[in-house]
Every structure is written in structure tokens, then in C-alpha cells.
């Protein structure tokens, strides 16, 4: 039965497809559990969609993404595959849109869902870009109209999730597209979208260069260009952004509406913030111009300011490619879990957890009855303790070494009385199988 | 921003790719959590591997599966993709083999891992066969040799997981390949593998027909054929199988070794069984002939005896296509979660849970301060309560209806004092935000 005669295929990592040791995976799993818990604390329900959609469905989003899509083709397919062409989804928004349309009559609106799934993009891998990665999306979708209350709710959920995973200081930035559009309208700028695209480079190009482009290429007057740049440079962790923006002297109803909406969101975030997130109104943030219509969110790691966005979202007037003859507006946000997690692993911030979930190893010697050890183990397991029974009667030394290598905190000696050794503290004491708990499970 | 002008793409299910409403998905998620918890209770650690492997890696398993493999091809790839050809994994065994080889020096042996992931097969969908499905694998892998203790441990874990999810009565069947091989050796049968393949049809063909094939096509004597069939018809939920098998008069050391191994496993399973699983020694069970070398497991739904195997595994001498110049023996089992779950959904056994995880809806009226409602909600959330704050100040009637449609059990009225209405019981009472808990969270 040995495979030694077989040619050896080299086992190696595939670029862009992250994989971790058990220690690191346990840390990732804890993050996923934490995020999921926060989403459920706010009453959002989990859905999952298949990993694939029909190519036609994915293409309904628009043309510029299709080069990144992985299509599926059966190896050794005889002739053409019949039926729909399938491809791996490249985000969770398109599958959700298809899901909502398909299950429309089975859902209650406003439909609050979260989705934690892998997505795939056939891009060239580079720092922060993966070919397979985990996204954590939380969205609320309603019919025809949707309460502005959700502008704050979605931001609150994301902020609490980011705080709860303990990824370190994160700048959680907010803006409102109405502020930008209204301000530009008030300045008499016709091609607002073009101007926003230029101003959006404010973190990448010098201000003078952006000003030059606005004047020379977008045809703005010098004063107008200066006003646009002044707005884009406003940042505040409280509501002073609004007064600063108003000082620029533009009068426009949409602009005022946007400021008021953002003030409410900032108030609610700041009141609830208990963690390392820095909440910042940032009037440069634009996000997807054709999609978002109100509040927009964008979060970055403060310690790695050059690193790409790790969380983004906003309010949209209609779920992308909605497949249904009515508007489905919503507010949503996506945490790029792989992007965030992989960076902190790479930087050595996340070093992993114990290599095993085991709380206690039950030692095994020739005199032990395995049925009794099983019963003991199951008695402990019923109270939530993770237990291994050593897999053979062996020398104490070997069992110690096994516990040590797997970082198992306790070693149990069955007997009358039972004894448990705390391997960290080095102390051994009597233990009652009916009540003993490891530190992890004590209140 | 409306997409109404866009062509409507029909939202529809893709055959072989299961997708559920939130109610059903919540039930599935509970199963996954339960299985994962049982695996961890036994000290097994989670790993995840990418969804893809290099085609070369998958092909190392052997030739007969490659037609079922989905290869990946970037849509609109310009010319040939450079680099390795990638394909979706079709099971979790091959990825685990590659993982163990790749991370060999980072793992502690015996390496106890579980893996709960989707796998893909480009087969024609039919009842019990999906193109994308979730497998829950638990394996222990060691170097060079592996303790027989794990024959029972892996069976125990699977049995406890199947009992814990509450899938109803399941027949958990066990055999040992040594019993078969030794028995056939003892009868002087040279082509044991061929004979086993024929006898394996005992549940599909009449016994007389199998006997005819054994005599006419496999060249056994009538007595030998009868002995093989007699062995294959032995079933017992206790250890009486061994005496019955010995009565057939075959003397062989391997046969006795197999009987003794299976007796130990049966003892441990029966001692620990607390649930609806029926543990059965079944001397017809053969499983993968080229792979398993000792104990083999196979489980089926008792209420749907025609339905395919929902869980299977056994002991192997070397992890398939091990990619490394030493033997990696192991014992493992795989629960076909999608196959099992989808069947019970289809049969109406699983009808789903509440459409939302929300325990309590905080009502909202014009006089409420949203910051105070947020603080109240977060105070409850900190104790594990799932809370929604209604998304606008609205008529009580509308808020009631929302809670009713989402099956939310409690409605909270903020005030001094606070009051909570139990919507099921219809009772309303004072509630303290510092201590109130829904029934779900009470001990």
C-alpha cells in the first residue's frame, strides 16, 4: 500500500491562495467567529450562496471586471459542456442581488443579511491582492426606499466588528456623496464626477498638481479648484467638519442634507465607540462613483497607512444588476478579512494561537481501562472541555512531551482520587471529574 | 441610478449547487457549528486549504476522477494563462495530503485535524449528488505507524457528531478489512479483491445471484462461495459478530486480528453511545479497496435505506499521493454534510429556524433619543443578546408587524421603567437593561 514507488509531486503554495498553519488558522477562525457574532448581535442573518454564478449573471454587473473572473471548465470534458457557463463569483454583492431577486417572496424587508465567504479574482497577486480571499459582507436591503437610520447602523456594526477582532488601530473614515455633489453643484461645476475622480487622488498626488489638473484639464477657475481642494482636506473626529465645510461659503440644499446625515452618523459612532477604531469624517472619500449615493465608508490600518483599504461600503440606490423590476436600495459594508488578516500575519502582529484546541490530555498507563478513560473524557466534554485521551499506554515522559509540543495546558491522571497537573504552573492537585474546569472555561 | 433600463437577467438556481433561504441556512449553520464543536471537544484542530490545487497535484491521486474535476480558466484570458493550471479540489483528502507534506516540519504528530469545506465535482446532479457540497472531514495522521486506538477514536467522534446534530436515526456500520482478507486467505481464495467487489453488491443483488457470479465468474467452489456470503451477512449491534464469524470455521491469524480490533472499537462505541445512532458491526462493508487497510466505516439514514452513504472512512496505510518520501498512515472519516442535510430538507424533516437571530426588537417612537436606544441595545448586546433597534420612529402597529414577520420573540419599550413584551406569551413586564435576558440565554 505504500506510495513510495509513485512519482513525488512537489507540495508547494500557490501564489495568491493563502494557507496557514493550524496556529494561524485558529486565530483566523476566531476572527471569523467574532465578526459573525457581532453581525448577529445586530440581528443580521447569515446566508450563503454557491461559489459559482452563471457567467451571464456575473456579466450583468458590467464589463470591466470580466477579465478577472475565473470560469469553470470540466477537465477532459468531452466536447462542449452543455448547459449554463459557470464562473466563480468575484464579490458577494452580485450573488446577493441574484439571491434577493430569486428568493424575493421568501424574504422579509428590510432584509438584513450577512455573508462570510470566499471570493475569487484572477488578478496578478501582490501585497494586499489575493486570488482567493474571504469577504465579510453585511448589508440591509429594502424595497423602493430605505431608512437613513441604516447609514449609522451599518457603520456601527462594522466599527464594532473591527474593534472586537482586535486588529489594532484602524481609521474608520466616512463621507457622504451628497456633500460632494451638492458642493460641486453649488460651485456651478457641471462635470462633478470627473472632478471627484481627480480630487480622489489627494492622498497620492501633491495638492498643487491636483489643482493644476483641475484648472488645466477640467476647466475650473483657480478659486473653484481651491474650494474643491479645501473641502477634500477637511477631516475631523467630531462634528467640526460641518462648520469647516460651511465656512467655504457654498450654499446648496443637497450639500446641507449630506452634512446633516453625516453628523448623525458621526454622533452615533462616537457615542458607541469602545475600542481602537478612530472614527473620522473625511470629506475626500469618494468610493465607487456610479454605485454609492449617500454615506460612504472606508477603513485603513493606521500603522500601515500605505496599505490598501481593508473595509469599504456605503449607501446605494439600487442593488447592482438587480434582476428584478423594482428598486432595491440598501446600505452595506464589506470587511476584507483576508487582506486585513494576511497583512497582520506578514507583519508579525498575529503570531497564532496554541496548535490545538485541547484543554486537557488524559494520561494513559497499562493499568487504565480505556472504557473508563472514555467515560471520564466524555464527562468533561459534556461541560465544554476539549479533551484528548492519550492514544496508547506509554511512558509518562512521552505523554508529557506530547502535551508540551501541542501546548496542552493540563495533564489528567485518572485514579482514586483523580489528579490534574497544571503544566504551566507546575502544580498538581486533586480534581473532581464532575466539576473540574480549565481556566479557559472559568468565569 | 436605477437599473430599470438594464436588461433583466433571470435569477435562477443552478442545478447541483444548493442554496437555502435564511431559515434553512440557520439550521445548516447550527449543524456546522455542532460538528465543529464535537471535533474540537476531542482536541482536533481546524485547517483550511485553498479551494484549488494544481491540476498535477489532483491528478496524483489517480486517473479515474479527472473527468469530474473543474478546471479554472480566466474568462477573456489573453492567450494562454502562464503558470500552473489550477482546478477546484474534489475532496479534502488530496489537499490534506499536500498540506501535511508542505507543512511537515510545522506540525506535531500524530496530527489531528478537521476540515469543513466545500468541494466540487462536475458530475451530473441527481439525488444525493451535488456539484458543490460541504464535507466535514476528521483525520489523525502519524508518521510510519499509527496507534490502533484511533480506530475507535475516529468512530467515536463521528458517532458523537451525528448524534449531536440530531439528524435522526443513523446506522453507523463498521467492518475491518483484515477480517475479509484473512477470511478469504483462510479459504484459499487468491483473488480476494475481485471477490470482495462482487460480495459488496449484497445489498443490491439477490444472494443467489451473487453466489452464481462467485462460482461461475470468480471460480469459487459452491462451499467457498457460501462461506463468503455467510460472512457478508453477519450483522450485530454487539460483539456477537465475532462468534458468528468464527463459527464459519476459518482459521487465519489476520482474520482473528481483524475480529479483535473490531471488538475493541464496538465496545468503545457502544459504551459511549448516547443518541439515535445504531452502531452495527456489518461484515459486508468493504469501502475503497485500494486505500483502506483496517477498520472501515459507513453510515446511512435508517429512515431512507435507499439513500446513499452519508458518512464514510477508515484506516489507511499511507495518505493518498503523499508527496513525501515516508509513509503517512492515518484514520479518518468524512461526513457528507450537504448530502445528509439536503435530504432531510427535501423530506421536510428540517423545516428551518426563525428567519432572524434577533432576540429583541427595541421599539422606537418620536420621543426616543436614538443615542439612548443605541446605548441600551449595546448594553444588552454585551451580555450576548441579539438586538435590533427599529429603524425609524413608527406606529406601534408597524413595529409589531415587523417583529411578527421576523419571528422576533420580544419587543422592548424604552422608558422609566423599561418594559418588555413577550410576544409569544403576550405578557408585558418591567425589565432592567442591566440584567434582562431572553429565554434563549437563561440557564
- Tens of pLDDT, residues B101-139: 999 999 999 999 999 999 999 988 899 999 999 999 999
CB contact under 8 A, A17 and B41: no
Query: For A371, which of B43, B48, B271 is closest by C-beta distance?
Result: B271
The pairing of beta strand B86-88 with beta strand B52-54? antiparallel
The answer to whether B143 and B264 are in contact (CB under 8 A) is no
For residue B5, what pLDDT is reported? 43
* pLDDT in the model for residue B62: 55
CB contact under 8 A, B103 and A21: yes
Helix (H, G, I), strand (E, B) or coil at A336: strand
Of residues A75 and B360, the one with the higher pLDDT is B360
Q: Is A320 helix (H, G, I), strand (E, B) or coil?
A: coil
Q: Using 50, 70 and 90 to split pLDDT, how confident is the model at B80?
A: low
Where would I find the beta strands (DSSP E) of B67-123?
A: 70-74, 86-88, 111-120
Out of A10, A14, A322, whose CB is closest to B3? A322
Question: Within an 8 Å CB–CB cutoff, is residue A193 touching chain B?
Answer: no
Residues A61, A320 contacting (CB under 8 angstroms): yes
- Could you give the ipTM of this predicted complex? 0.95
Beta partners for residue A70, in sequence order: B74
Read off the DSSP letter of residue B201.
G
Calculate the alpha carbon distances from A319 to A184, B4, B92 in Å. Answer: 26, 11, 35
Rounded distance between C-alpha atoms, residue A174 and residue A284, angstroms: 9
The secondary structure of B141-152 as a DSSP string is: E-SS---THHHH
Q: Mind listing the pLDDT tens digit for each residue in B1-11?
A: 344 444 456 78
Is A57 within 8 Å of chain B by CB? Answer: yes
B211 versus B289: which is more confidently predicted?
B211
Least confident of B8-22, B141-155, B425-439: B8-22
Report the C-alpha dihedral over residues A194, A197, A201, A202, rounded to 10 degrees: 70
Tell if the CB–CB gap between A86 and B14 is shorter than 8 Å: yes
| Residue A337 at interface with chain B, using a CB cutoff of 8 Å | no
CATH fold of A360-441 reads: Rossmann fold (3.40.50)
pLDDT greater than 70 at residue A3: no
Cβ pair B53:A14 closer than 8 A: yes
A82 touches chain B (CB under 8 A): no
Q: Check: CB of residue B130 under 8 Å from CB of residue B338.
A: yes
Homologous superfamily of the B22-74+82-346 domain (CATH):
Bira Bifunctional Protein; Domain 2 (3.30.930.10)
Q: Do B156 and A388 touch (CB under 8 A)?
A: no
Cα distances from A150 to residues A142, A269, B197, in angstroms, run 11, 12, 62
Largest CA distance in chain A: 92
Residue A206 dihedral angles phi and psi, to the nearest 5°:
-65, 150
Residue of chain A whose Cα is closest to the Cα of B121: A74
Q: Which positions ≥6 away from A190 have C-beta within 8 Å?
A: none
Burial of A440 (0-12, 13-18, 19+ CB in 10 A): exposed
The answer to whether A84 contacts chain B (CB < 8 Å) is: yes
**pLDDT, mean of residues A365-394:** 97
Is A103 at the interface with chain B, CB within 8 A? yes
Looking at CA atoms only, how far is residue B86 from chain A in angstroms? 9
Chain A: give the shortest CA distance to residue B316, in Å: 9
Res A193: pLDDT: 87
Chain B residues whose CB is inside 8 A of the A356 CB are: 43-45, 108, 112
Q: Does residue A296 have a pLDDT over 60? A: yes
Calpha distance B310→B128 (Å, rounded): 9
All three cell numbers of B319, joined, read 495518505
Contacts of B147 in chain A (CB under 8 A): 391-392
* Closest Cβ–Cβ partner in A57, A75, A357 for B71: A75
Interatomic CA distance for residues B334 and B351, integer angstroms: 25
List CB contacts (< 8 A) between A357 and chain B: 40, 43-45
User: Is pLDDT above 90 for B165?
Assistant: yes
H-run or E-run covering A346 = helix A337-346
Q: Could you say which of 3.30.930.10, 3.40.109.10, 3.10.180.10, 3.10.20.30 is the CATH number of the domain covering A15-73+83-168+303-353?
A: 3.30.930.10
Spacing of C-alpha A184 from chain mean position: 33
Cα B71 from Cα A73, distance rounded (Å)? 5
Asked if B242 is an interface residue toward chain A (Cβ–Cβ < 8 A), one would say: no
DSSP state of B129: B
Q: Which residue of B has its CA nearest to A120?
A: B51
Question: How far apart are the C-alpha atoms of B257 and B178, rounded to whole Å?
Answer: 7
> In whole angstroms, how far apart are CA B253 and each of A229, B146, B179, B229, B281?
87, 20, 10, 20, 20
Q: Higher-confidence residue: A5 or A328?
A: A328
pLDDT in tens, B40-63: 999 999 999 999 999 988 876 654
A82 — pLDDT class (breaks 50, 70, 90): low
pLDDT tens-digit profile of A6-50? 445 678 889 999 999 999 999 999 999 999 999 999 999 999 999
Residues in chain B, overall count: 443
Given CB atoms, is B269 within the 8 Å cutoff of chain A? Answer: no
What are the CA-CA distances from residue B399 to residues A38, B140, B237, B364, B389 (Å)?
23, 52, 55, 8, 10
How far is it, in rounded angstroms, from Cα B162 to Cα B39?
Answer: 11
Sheet with A427-430: list strands edge to edge. A387-389, A360-362, A410-413, A419-422, A427-430
Distance CA(A15)–CA(A77), nearest Å, equals: 27
Q: Do A102 and B355 touch (CB under 8 A)?
A: no
Q: Please state the rounded mean pLDDT for residues A71-98.
A: 84
For residue B291, the model assigns a pLDDT of: 86
- Residue B65: is its pLDDT beyond 60? no
Starting at the edge strand found earlier in the chain, the sheet holding B86-88 runs A52-54, A86-88, A70-74, B70-74, B86-88, B52-54
**Residue B294 · residue B314 · CB < 8 Å:** yes
A153 chain-B contacts, CB cut-off 8 A: 389, 391
Residue range(s) of every CATH 3.30.930.10 domain in chain A: 15-73+83-168+303-353
CB contact under 8 A, A386 and B40: yes
Q: What is the pLDDT of residue A2?
A: 42
Residue A169, C-alpha cell as written in the block: 488601530
Average pLDDT for A178-204: 91
Q: Which residues of chain A does B68 touch, with a Cβ-Cβ cutoff of 8 Å?
A: 74
Q: Alpha carbon of B320 to those of A6, A7, A78, B271, B326: distances in Å? A: 11, 12, 27, 32, 12
B41 near A CB under 8 A: yes
pLDDT in tens, B392-419: 999 999 999 999 999 999 999 999 999 9
Better-scored residue on pLDDT, A159 or A9: A159
B79 — contact with chain A (CB < 8 Å)?
Answer: no
Question: Could you tell me where in chain A the CATH 3.40.50.800 domains are found?
Answer: 360-441
The answer to whether residue A153 neighbours chain B at the CB level (below 8 Å) is yes
Give the least confident one: A119-133, B58-72, B206-220, B235-249.
Answer: B58-72
Is the confidence at residue B17, as pLDDT, over 50? Answer: yes
Which residues are CB-neighbours of B50 under 8 A, at least 6 positions away? A14, A17, A18, A19, A132, B95
pLDDT at A61: 61
DSSP β-bridge partners for residue B428: B421
| Pairwise CA distance, residues A30 & B83, whole Å | 34
Instruction: Read off φ and ψ for residue A22, nearest 5 degrees.
Output: -55, -40
Instruction: Name the grid cell of A285.
Output: 472619500
Note which residues in 201-240 of chain A have CB less than 8 A from chain B: none
Residue B81 confidence (pLDDT) above 60: no
User: What is the tally of helices (H) and strands (E) in chain A?
Assistant: 13, 17
Please indicate if any CB of chain A lies within 8 Å of the CB of B318: yes
Nearest residue of A to residue B358, measured between CA atoms: A43
Whether residue A249 is predicted with pLDDT greater than 80 in this model: the reply is yes
pLDDT in tens, B319-374: 876 677 788 999 999 999 999 999 999 999 999 999 999 999 999 999 999 999 99
Rounded to the nearest integer, the mean pLDDT of chain A is: 93
* DSSP class of A212: H
| Mean pLDDT for all residues in chain B | 93
Q: Which residues of A touch B361 (CB under 8 A)?
A: 43
Tell me the count of A-B CB pairs closer than 8 A: 305
Q: Which residues contact B277 (CB under 8 A, 6 or more apart)?
A: B159, B162, B163, B169, B170, B171, B172, B299
Q: What's the pLDDT tens digit per position in A325-368?
A: 788 999 999 999 999 999 999 999 999 999 999 999 999 999 99
Which one-letter DSSP state was computed for residue B441? G
B159 closest CA partner among B180, B138, B134, B178? B138
Q: Phi first, then psi: what are they for B160, rounded to 5°?
A: -65, -40
Amino acid at each position: 500500500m505504500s506510495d513510495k514507488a509513485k512519482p513525488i509531486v512537489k507540495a508547494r503554495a500557490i501564489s495568491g491562495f493563502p494557507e496557514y498553519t493550524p496556529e494561524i488558522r485558529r486565530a483566523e477562525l476566531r476572527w471569523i467567529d467574532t465578526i459573525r457574532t457581532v453581525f448577529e448581535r445586530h440581528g443580521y442573518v447569515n446566508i450563503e450562496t454557491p461559489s459559482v454564478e452563471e457567467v451571464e449573471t456575473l456579466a450583468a454587473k458590467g464589463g470591466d471586471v470580466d477579465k478577472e473572473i475565473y470560469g469553470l471548465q470540466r477537465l477532459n470534458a468531452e466536447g462542449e459542456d452543455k448547459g449554463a457557463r459557470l464562473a466563480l463569483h468575484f464579490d458577494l454583492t452580485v450573488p446577493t442581488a441574484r439571491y434577493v431577486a430569486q428568493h424575493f417572496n421568501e424574504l422579509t424587508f428590510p432584509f438584513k443579511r450577512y455573508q462570510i465567504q470566499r471570493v475569487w479574482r484572477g488578478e496578478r497577486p501582490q501585497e494586499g491582492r489575493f486570488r482567493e480571499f474571504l469577504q465579510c459582507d453585511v448589508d440591509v436591503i429594502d424595497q423602493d426606499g430605505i431608512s437613513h437610520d441604516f447609514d449609522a447602523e451599518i457603520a456601527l456594526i462594522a466599527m464594532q466588528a473591527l474593534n472586537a477582532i482586535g486588529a489594532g488601530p484602524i481609521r474608520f473614515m466616512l463621507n457622504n456623496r451628497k456633500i460632494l455633489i451638492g458642493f460641486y453643484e453649488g460651485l456651478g461645476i457641471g462635470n462633478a464626477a470627473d472632478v471627484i475622480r481627480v480630487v480622489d487622488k489627494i492622498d497620492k498626488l501633491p495638492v498643487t498638481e491636483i489643482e493644476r489638473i483641475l484648472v488645466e484639464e477640467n476647466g475650473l477657475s483657480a478659486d473653484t479648484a481651491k474650494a474643491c481642494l479645501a473641502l477634500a482636506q477637511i477631516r475631523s473626529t467630531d462634528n467640526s467638519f460641518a462648520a469647516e465645510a460651511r465656512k467655504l461659503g457654498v450654499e446648496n440644499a443637497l450639500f446641507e442634507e449630506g452634512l446633516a446625515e453625516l453628523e448623525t452618523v458621526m454622533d452615533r459612532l462616537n457615542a458607541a465607540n469602545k475600542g481602537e477604531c478612530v472614527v473620522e469624517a473625511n470629506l475626500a472619500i469618494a468610493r465607487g462613483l456610479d454605485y454609492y449615493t449617500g454615506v460612504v465608508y472606508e477603513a485603513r490600518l493606521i500603522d500601515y497607512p500605505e496599505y490598501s483599504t481593508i473595509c469599504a461600503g456605503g449607501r446605494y440606490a439600487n442593488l447592482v444588476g438587480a434582476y428584478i423590476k423594482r428598486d432595491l436600495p440598501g446600505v452595506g459594508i464589506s470587511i476584507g478579512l483576508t487582506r486585513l488578516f494576511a497583512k497582520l500575519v506578514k507583519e508579525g502582529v498575529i503570531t497564532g494561537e496554541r496548535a490545538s484546541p485541547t484543554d486537557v490530555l488524559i494520561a494513559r498507563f497499562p493499568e487504565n481501562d480505556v472504557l473508563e478513560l472514555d467515560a471520564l473524557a466524555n464527562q468533561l466534554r459534556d461541560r465544554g472541555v476539549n479533551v484528548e485521551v492519550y492514544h496508547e499506554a506509554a511512558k509518562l515522559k512521552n505523554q508529557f512531551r506530547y502535551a508540551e509540543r501541542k501546548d496542552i495546558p493540563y495533564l489528567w491522571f485518572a485514579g482514586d482520587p483523580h489528579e490534574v497537573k497544571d503544566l504551566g504552573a507546575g502544580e498538581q492537585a486533586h480534581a473532581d471529574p464532575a466539576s473540574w474546569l480549565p481556566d479557559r472555561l472559568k468565569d
